[in-house]
Amino acid sequence: MPASAASDEVADRLLADGYVVVSGMLTPEGAGAARADLDRILQTTRTGRNSFEGFATQRIYALFAKTRAFDSLATDPLLLGVLDQVLHHYQLSAPVGICIGPGEKAQILHRDDAIYPVPEPHPPLVLNTMWPLDEFTPENGATRFIPGSHRWEPGRQPGQGDRVDTAVISPGSAMFYLGSLWHGGGANQTPRPRLGVILEYAAGWLRQQENHCLAVPREVVAGLPERLQELLGYNIYPPFVGYVDGSHPRKVLSAERQP
């Protein structure tokens, strides 16, 4: 679908299929600038510690502490419009840059919302967006997923007879997918790394996977747009979950900016 599509159209496709690819979300210049900035960070980023992270894969955690390249993407109007309809009240959970290196094996298929011990079936809890900064191909580790698996009955696991598709997408596009969709990174059989960024959102009443209030220094957060501050955790889930000393947490940031 094009980025000019209405948010309700994108949300409807997402809920029906479990995923949707939206083109034209980022300009070629924007994608190139983002990749260059992440290349800088990757110079000092370790590879994974286990097979899930990927022993030949680099993961850029604390993303919003290290780069400003994704500030506007995290608050893209179309993306927020889709989130409004799917999750209603939400926050950034696990934003991360993922650079799958040559020789990396395929990641185990998994569901991102499975980390939360919520009885199934349940409404959507997690919405992911994948932003490719290289061409995603079947050979270099493009994301694999099982179409329609977000509708599976509770307890069902992937089997040999299930169709697994590959997200062949280009920089500038973004793949939206539900946290209940079975998916995983692919194997990289090429001599070059494959770089992408995941901006993962979770329902506002859940604990974020990454504790952004500690991961992103307050002096950095204080200079960010208000909506991004809220998405990083400086917000409340109505009526008052997440308050600080009886007040909205953004007041902490405002007070710290006062001379």
Each residue of 225-244: pLDDT tens digit? 999 999 999 999 999 999 99
Q: What angle do CA 64, 18, 178 make, to 5 degrees?
A: 30
Q: Check which CATH number belongs to the domain holding 141 and give it.
A: 2.60.120.620
Structure token pair of residue 89: 């009240």
- Mean of the pLDDT values across residues 196-217? 97
Residue 255 has pLDDT above 90, yes or no: no
Answer yes or no: do 160 and 252 share one domain. no
Q: What angle do CA 234, 12, 72 make, to 5 degrees?
A: 35
Domain that holds residue 221: 217-259
Residue 254's pLDDT band (cuts 50, 70, 90): confident
Domains identified in the chain, total number: 2
C-alpha 221/C-alpha 140 separation (Å) is: 35
Q: Which helix (H) or strand (E) holds 212?
A: helix 212-215
The torsion defined by the Cα of 71, 3, 82 and 140, in degrees rounded to 10, comes to: -70
Supply the pTM of this predicted model: 0.95
C-alpha 236/C-alpha 256 separation (Å) is: 19
In a domain, 72, yes or no: yes
Structure token pair of residue 185: 């990174």
Residue 201 has pLDDT above 90, yes or no: yes
- Mean of the pLDDT values across residues 121-146? 97
Each residue of 11-41: pLDDT tens digit? 999 999 999 999 999 999 999 999 999 999 9
